[in-house]
Amino acid sequence: MAKQLTLGFLLLLLSLPAWSQTEFGSVQEAYEYAMAHGTAVERERLLAENAQSQRNSQMATLLPQVKAIANFDNYFSLPVQLVPAEIFGGEPGTFRELQFGTQYQLNYGLEANMPLVNVSAWKSLQASQLAAEAAFFQQKSQEQLYKEEVSRAYYLYLLSREALALSEKNLASNDTLLRAAQVKFEQGLIELLDYNRAQALHVDATQQVLDNRVVLQSNAHALKLSVGLALEDSLELSEGLNDPLLQAQSLQAAPEELPQYRTLDWSSKKAEAELSRQQMRYLPEVSAYARYTRQAQRNELNFAQAGESWFEIGVVGLRAEWLLFNGMGRNSQVSQAKRQSEIARLQKEEYGQKATKELLDLHRQSEQSTQAVKAYQRHRQLTEQNYALALRKFNEGVYSFEQLVSIYLENIQSQQKYLSKLSDYYLHQAMIAVKNESVRYENASYTK
């Protein structure tokens, strides 16, 4: 019997759906998980690696290129040339038809080329190095934005969880208020109007709990998706929106140090290098080449036969190319490169102004939320004391139901404001930490 129970228990475990549970103790742990499992982070990493590969590919064009060559020709109809017949003792003024060569020819060998002077290629390499730097900081910029997204989702989830707990607490408090109102109504001390108001408040408090549960579930899904979890996975946050020590962090990031600004800065430099490359295309290109081949000519397909003749050909030389006219195409490309360089410069300046405003706003919002939390801490304590006193006075018959409801609503409003300001405080501190961390990268992407 025991063996049957054990077997049944194992079968039950195997039949349960697979799921995983993840727990975060802080927003930093959420960052770390997101960086390891987020698809957006992986996508940006691959894009940065592509930029590095493009630079390596461009560098390869400046190195010697060696290739093996071979060709087989079948002259099924050899060309005919007319020569004066008198060379062969014929009559002057007449010609004889001659065919030169054999029907089959086979060549194989090696060929090498190396650019010696190619300013355009050198500029392309420089542009690819700058593009690799831009891609590196673009990756860091996306990581910064990703962390900010996780921060919002994280603290929005905490806010909704605390809002649910607060609404449940208020529902319990409303139960007490409703019972007190019912007793007063049965004793004939309050009118039906007041009793109906108490019931309406209870219905509203009950619905608020249900609404907050839906919001909490929605925000939980948003947080899971932002960190790379599946919706069916279990997620727990051991941290709560507790009363903080209210020590605001100092914002150390400057606009020109942010990854996105540095991305645009390197992109602007790349556009300038591309403009220089287009302008340098007017210059000639010089390359060295070398070729070694073995050649055989046959009238029969007997190239593998021993004792037959093979001829060796070797040549080295220099080749110069100078494009003099291409239908005004170069002028058009130079004009496009100039406009693109100006666009990149304007984008960098525009972002610099926006980033300056964003950092100033974040600094002011951080200070304002810190002061607001301090103010509403005291405000919440006062309204909670007032409600406790008002409920006691109502039970004693000193306060009217209208006065009790008014203080009750003040207490609810104060709790909601405090919770909102507390969430803002944590979010602003997280944003400052993310931006401070984002300025610690060096320009070393293409050397890695």
Q: CA 134 → CA 142, 256, 326, 443, distances in Å?
A: 12, 14, 32, 10
The percentage of residues in the chain with a pLDDT greater than 90, rounded to a whole number, is: 35
Locate the domains of the chain by residue range.
19-62+118-284+329-438
Predicted confidence band at 44 (pLDDT cuts at 50, 70, 90)? confident
Q: Is the pLDDT of residue 409 over 80?
A: yes
**Residue range 326-339: average pLDDT?**
86
Q: How many Å apart are CA 60 and CA 333, to the nearest integer? A: 24
DSSP code at position 87: G
Q: pTM here?
A: 0.74
Predicted confidence band at 4 (pLDDT cuts at 50, 70, 90)? low
Of 19, 114, 10, the closest CA to residue 62 belongs to: 114
* The pLDDT value given to residue 433: 87
CA angle 39, 45, 49 (to 5 degrees): 145
Neighbours of 342 (CB within 10 A): 13
Q: Taking a C-beta distance cutoff of 8 angstroms, is the pair 146, 41 a contact?
A: yes
Chain segment 94-124, per-residue pLDDT in tens = 888 887 788 899 999 999 999 988 888 888 8
Q: Taking a C-beta distance cutoff of 8 angstroms, is the pair 344, 264 a contact?
A: yes
Sequence-ordered list of residues with C-beta below 8 angstroms from that of 47, at least 6 positions apart, any chain: 135, 138, 139
Instruction: Kindly report the backbone phi and psi dihedral angles of residue 70, in degrees, each rounded to the nearest multiple of 5, phi listed first.
Output: -160, 145
The class (CATH top level) of 19-62+118-284+329-438 is: mainly alpha
Sequence-ordered list of residues with C-beta below 8 angstroms from that of 140, at least 6 positions apart, any chain: 259, 438, 441
Q: Taking a C-beta distance cutoff of 8 angstroms, is the pair 41, 72 a contact?
A: no
Neighbours of 356 (CB within 10 A): 14
Of 38, 121, 106, the closest CA to residue 75 belongs to: 106
Q: How many Å apart are CA 204 and CA 201, to the nearest integer? A: 5
**Residue range 160-171: average pLDDT?**
91
DSSP code at position 317: E
DSSP secondary structure, 227-271, as one string: HT--TTSEEEE----PPP---PPP----GGGSHHHHHHHHHHHHH
The two structure tokens encoding residue 75: 């002259």
Chain segment 244-284, per-residue pLDDT in tens = 666 667 888 889 989 999 999 999 999 999 999 888 888 89
Q: How many Å apart are CA 260 and CA 267, to the nearest integer? A: 10
Higher local confidence (pLDDT), 207 or 301: 207
Q: What is the mean pLDDT of the chain?
A: 86
Chain segment 7-19, per-residue pLDDT in tens = 554 444 444 444 5
Q: Is the pLDDT of residue 220 over 90?
A: yes
Neighbours of 263 (CB within 10 A): 23
**Residues facing 287 on adjacent strands:** 115, 319
